[in-house]
Amino acid sequence: MPGPDLIVRNVLWQDELVSLWIEQGVVRRLAPPDEPCSEGEQLHGGGALLLPGLIDAHVHLREPGFEYKEDIASGLEAAARGGFSAVLAMANTRPVNDSAAVTSFMRDRAAATHPLGPRLHPVGALTKGLVGQELAPLAELAEAGCVAFSNDGLPVASPDLFRRAMEYASDLGLVVIDHCEDPVLAEGASMNEGRISGLLGLKGQPVVAESMQVARDILLAEYLDLPIHLAHISCRQSVELIRWAKARGVRVSAETCPHYLLWTEEMVQGYNTLAKVNPPLRTDDDVLALRQAVREGVIDILVTDHAPHADHEKEVPMDEAPNGISGLDTALSLSWKLVREGVLSPQDLCALWSARPGALFSLPVNRFQPGDPADFILFNPDLEWTVTPETLRSKGKNTPCLGQTLPGRVVAHGIAGKILFHNVDAS
Amino acid sequence: MLWPHKDLLCITQLTAAEILYVFRMARRFAEINTRPVKKVPTLKGKSVILFFVEPSTRTKTSFDIAGKRLSADTYSLAASSSSLRKGENLKDSALTLQAMHPDALVLRHHQSGASEFLARRLSCSVINAGDGWHAHPTQALLDGFTLSEVWGDDMAGKTVLIVGDIAHSRVARSDVLLFTALGAQVRICAPRTLLPAGVRQWPVEVFSDLTEACKGVDAVVCLRLQLERQKAGLLPDLREYARTYGLGARHLSKANPGVLVMHPGPMNRGVEIDAALADAENSLILDQVSAGVATRMALLFLFLTRKDATDQGDARGDQVESPQPQSPSLQED
Ligand SMILES: [Zn+2]
């Protein structure tokens, strides 16, 4: 038996100091920390937490078409630094990812700019041009490498077309991800409809704009006996519908983002466009419901909905500002805040950010079992950092975290046993 | 009183004492408006830009007259003027305006929060002359001043009803804040479709029946109905609105004796208000217009001399309690 190529020494895995032995890109085993071995490269972890490489099932990388906001190179750099070994990139590019040419372009750009990873998995458009009129060529997209389909950003209003899309996608074995939003109820809104929107004089988006569509999708999924994945859930009513559906055995899965677990509509006070996101930040009660749902597994996974924008686009009055928070750089630190607050355990993080998204989208996952892909990060939870435009690797500096000090830094990242970076001083 | 504010964005910024101070100043300036020569040199050499991205002849004229009566130079920038047209990035507008070194900017904008947006980027005073559905603080101050001329400053025990499209009304939001700050009870009356989200948490009583709402009130403020609300599906039609929410004599008969009627204008006669009521003896609608000029003179004075007061740092300080502030600059030209 040949020796390991790489040994990551002195790292914490489930409260125990271990070393991770890696061989030909896969995990060989977790060994006692000081088990001698003279072969292979040695990397000293300095007691940092060992976590699997994270999977972000919902990002917007903006290339092709909006490279001034973000491009595949900068987006994957932010993903790498943020601890993500794989990302699913949404289709609302220009041109829209509704053809094999665009899918291939995205994958080629990723391979060219980040040959070691993070891995980019394109999500194909559900309808041509995301217009919601005709099905996109889903088989062509699947063949070109798309791992799921979604009209994210421009949800399909027609229940009939949406049904047909679910049916057609199921033949290809791929899941449909729906951005749940009734476009009429949500029209023109720039924040949650409620007390603050009333005071600020802004048009609000009612929670039913989301939950009505959640209900539609659940009922369709049950009727068709097909899976559906619900994107960025933001409110209690949606959570209750999903809990009900799961109890009935409906094949529904759901995601939410760190920002819906931490912040409320109060963040918009002062017309803070950095907190303008779709769906909007809701209320304390919604945050409580989502936290519980994430703990219980009613919400299956966490995603960033990484939505970078240029500064000048956010430096406008609230109504004009585009929706979105740049999330890849800060996601793990924000998640760690939830660990510190006792909302989640480190094991929950591994499930929410790695095992379950991997299972949902049929991607390889590292559980540190022999033969698992050696995608891992070393995370120092005691290291604090201040969020500034300079500390963010994404081109999008649009986050309400600007100026805040967050806990935890990724100090090393390996994908398939190859080290992307190792900042030993930081550990 | 040292005026502590750089900008006037929303009534929430002002204490009750500051509101009453504005009224006292307005009372003094109102007197100038009745003289044969209606001009004093108080603000000579100061420049005020009137930046009305959303058109409004009435408010703009009121500010323009107020500024000129105090000898300030006023400059109008219409939304249609080439460089500062509607659609230009507001940040670039701010930078352009900053480069002109005005002492104050009066802004009317169709977007909520626009005045706060500019105030954060400009070193001059920004006076919000209406931003989206959010706030219209100078209208509220002139409404309050108009009522205080009849009732006096203490509004405890008085009930004011605001009727009409509360959801889309910056006047309603600012009036509610101001009247409650001065101790009045406030009611609002509108169909549910024209009530803002979260209105149950406002410090008001909410009515849907105008007759009920009018019982025992001391003043009624009718709001202008934007005719496009019907097209937006918020109302069946204007005739029905007029029948249900148009203020008429039959409603006012339930009110307290001497009930006052107000309207921020411009009126749709026969829609929000019975045509005859607008001209009746207890209508304050034209008094509001006069009060508008006096109130805006007071505000321009306070905001434009703010720096001077800070620089002097003594003489005119701490006079908030004085009903007759010693203002040497108020002498006649
Ligand atoms: Zn979305």
**Mean pLDDT estimate for chain A:** 96
CB-based contact A316 B132, cutoff 8 Å: no
In this predicted model, which residue has the larger pLDDT, B306 or A356? A356
Residues of B whose CB is below 8 A from A317: 90, 109, 111-114, 117
Residue B314 has pLDDT above 80, yes or no: no
Cβ atoms of A177 and A148 closer than 8 Å = yes
What pairs with residue B247 in β-bridges? B273
Cis amide linkage into residue A308, ω under 30° from 0: no
- Looking at residue B29, its pLDDT comes to 95
Provide the shortest C-alpha distance from residue B168 to chain A (in Å). Answer: 7
Residues of A whose CB is below 8 A from B201: 195
Ligand 1 centroid, distance to A353 Cα (angstroms)? 18
Average pLDDT for residues A347-356, to the nearest whole number? 98
Q: What is the dihedral of CA A203, A205, A208, A213, to 10 degrees?
A: 130
Share of chain B above pLDDT 90, in %: 80
Residue A32 has pLDDT above 50, yes or no: yes
The residue among A52, A1, A54 whose CA lies nearest residue A330 is A54
- Looking at residue B111, its pLDDT comes to 95
- Looking at residue A371, its pLDDT comes to 96
- Looking at residue B84, its pLDDT comes to 57
Instruction: Give the count of Cβ contacts less than 8 A between chain A and B.
Output: 63
Residue A8 has pLDDT above 80, yes or no: yes
Residues of B whose CB is below 8 A from A200: 112-113, 134
- Looking at residue A3, its pLDDT comes to 76
Q: Which residue of B has its CA nearest to A199?
A: B134
Q: Quick one: tokens of A50? A: 């060992």
Residue B82 has pLDDT above 90, yes or no: no
CB-based contact A202 B131, cutoff 8 Å: no
Ligand 1 centroid, distance to A279 Cα (angstroms)? 7
CB-based contact B90 A194, cutoff 8 Å: no
Q: What is the dihedral of CA B68, B73, B78, B83, to 10 degrees?
A: 180
Least confident interval from A314-318, B106-110, B183-187, B232-236: B232-236
Residues of chain A contacting B, Cβ within 8 Å: 193-202, 204, 206, 270-271, 312, 315-320
DSSP B79-105: TTSSTT-TTS-HHHHHHHHHHT--SEE
Q: DSSP class of residue B226?
A: P
Residue B85 has pLDDT above 70, yes or no: no
The residue among A256, A389, A257 whose CA lies nearest residue A334 is A257
- Looking at residue A65, its pLDDT comes to 97
Q: How is the beta sheet containing B125-131 ordered, strand by strand?
A: B73-78, B47-52, B104-109, B125-131
CB-based contact B134 A312, cutoff 8 Å: no
Q: Predicted confidence band at A1 (pLDDT cuts at 50, 70, 90)?
A: low
Distance CA B178, CA B8 (A): 13
Report the largest interatomic distance among the alpha carbons of chain B, rounded to a whole angstrom. 60
Q: How do residues A167-217 score in pLDDT, each as one tens digit?
A: 999 999 999 999 999 999 999 999 999 999 999 999 999 999 999 999 999
Ligand 1 centroid, distance to A231 Cα (angstroms)? 6
Provide the shortest C-alpha distance from residue A232 to chain B (in Å). Answer: 24
The residue among A116, A64, A3, A54 whose CA lies nearest residue A304 is A54
**Residue A424 one-letter amino acid:** V
CB-based contact B113 A198, cutoff 8 Å: no
Q: DSSP class of residue B312?
A: H
Cβ atoms of A320 and B111 closer than 8 Å = yes
Q: Predicted confidence band at A4 (pLDDT cuts at 50, 70, 90)?
A: confident
Complex-level ipTM: 0.90
Q: How do residues A288-306 score in pLDDT, each as one tens digit?
A: 999 999 999 999 999 999 9
Q: What is the dihedral of CA B25, B180, B229, A198, to 10 degrees?
A: 110
CB-based contact A318 B173, cutoff 8 Å: no
Q: DSSP class of residue A351?
A: I
Q: Quick one: tokens of B191? A: 């169909």
Distance CA A92, CA A153 (A): 7
Cβ atoms of B234 and A203 closer than 8 Å = no
Cβ atoms of A97 and A59 closer than 8 Å = no
Radius of gyration from C-alpha coordinates of chain A? 21
Q: How do residues B41-56 score in pLDDT, each as one tens digit?
A: 999 999 999 999 988 8
- Looking at residue B285, its pLDDT comes to 96
- The closest CB to that of A200, out of B91, B134, B199, belongs to B134
The residue among B56, B42, B51 whose CA lies nearest residue B299 is B42
Average pLDDT for residues A133-153, to the nearest whole number? 97
- The closest CB to that of B170, out of A193, A201, A316, belongs to A201
Ligand 1 centroid, distance to A152 Cα (angstroms)? 5
Residue A425 has pLDDT above 60, yes or no: no
CB-based contact A194 B197, cutoff 8 Å: yes
Ligand 1 centroid, distance to A123 Cα (angstroms)? 12
**Mean pLDDT estimate for chain B:** 89
Q: How do residues B252-268 score in pLDDT, each as one tens digit?
A: 999 999 999 999 989 99
Q: Which residue of B has its CA nearest to A315?
A: B91
Q: Quick one: tokens of B35? A: 């003289």
Q: Quick one: tokens of B210? A: 């105008």
CB-based contact A201 B91, cutoff 8 Å: no
Residues of A whose CB is below 8 A from B90: 316-317
In this predicted model, which residue has the larger pLDDT, B206 or B319? B206
Least confident interval from A13-27, A295-309, B306-320: B306-320
Q: How do residues A40-99 score in pLDDT, each as one tens digit?
A: 899 999 999 999 999 999 999 999 999 999 999 999 999 999 999 999 999 999 999 999
Residue B8 has pLDDT above 90, yes or no: yes
Cis amide linkage into residue A95, ω under 30° from 0: yes
Chain A contact probe: residue of B112, B133, B136 with most A CBs at under 10 A = B112
- Looking at residue A393, its pLDDT comes to 98
- How far is C-alpha A26 from the geometric centre of its chain's CA atoms? 24
Residues of A whose CB is below 8 A from B91: 312, 315-316
**Residue B194 one-letter amino acid:** L
- Looking at residue B94, its pLDDT comes to 84
Chain A contact probe: residue of B7, B93, B111, B226 with most A CBs at under 10 A = B111
Q: How do residues B62-81 score in pLDDT, each as one tens digit?
A: 999 999 999 999 999 876 66
Chain B contact probe: residue of A185, A190, A271, A319 with most B CBs at under 10 A = A271
Instruction: Tokens 């104050």: give the residue.
Output: B104
- The closest CB to that of A319, out of B89, B111, B135, belongs to B111
Q: Which residue of B has its CA nearest to A193?
A: B197
Chain A contact probe: residue of B54, B117, B188 with most A CBs at under 10 A = B117
Cite the active site residues of A.
305
Ligand 1 centroid, distance to A268 Cα (angstroms)? 19
Cβ atoms of B139 and B171 closer than 8 Å = yes
- Looking at residue B308, its pLDDT comes to 56
Ligand 1 centroid, distance to A309 Cα (angstroms)? 15
Q: How do residues B95-107 score in pLDDT, each as one tens digit?
A: 888 899 999 999 9
Residues of A whose CB is below 8 A from B170: 201
Residues of chain B contacting A, Cβ within 8 Å: 89-91, 109, 111-114, 116-117, 131-135, 167, 170, 173, 196-199, 201-202
Q: DSSP class of residue B224?
A: P
Residue B119 has pLDDT above 80, yes or no: yes
CB-based contact A317 B133, cutoff 8 Å: no
Q: How do residues A376-390 score in pLDDT, each as one tens digit?
A: 999 999 999 999 999
Reading phi first (left if > 0) and then psi (alpha if -120 to 50, else beta), residue A120 is in: beta
- Looking at residue B312, its pLDDT comes to 47
Spell out which residues have Cβ within 5 A of ligand 1, the ion. A 152, 179
Q: What's the burial of A258, exposed, middle or buried (CB within 10 Å: 0-12/13-18/19+)? A: buried
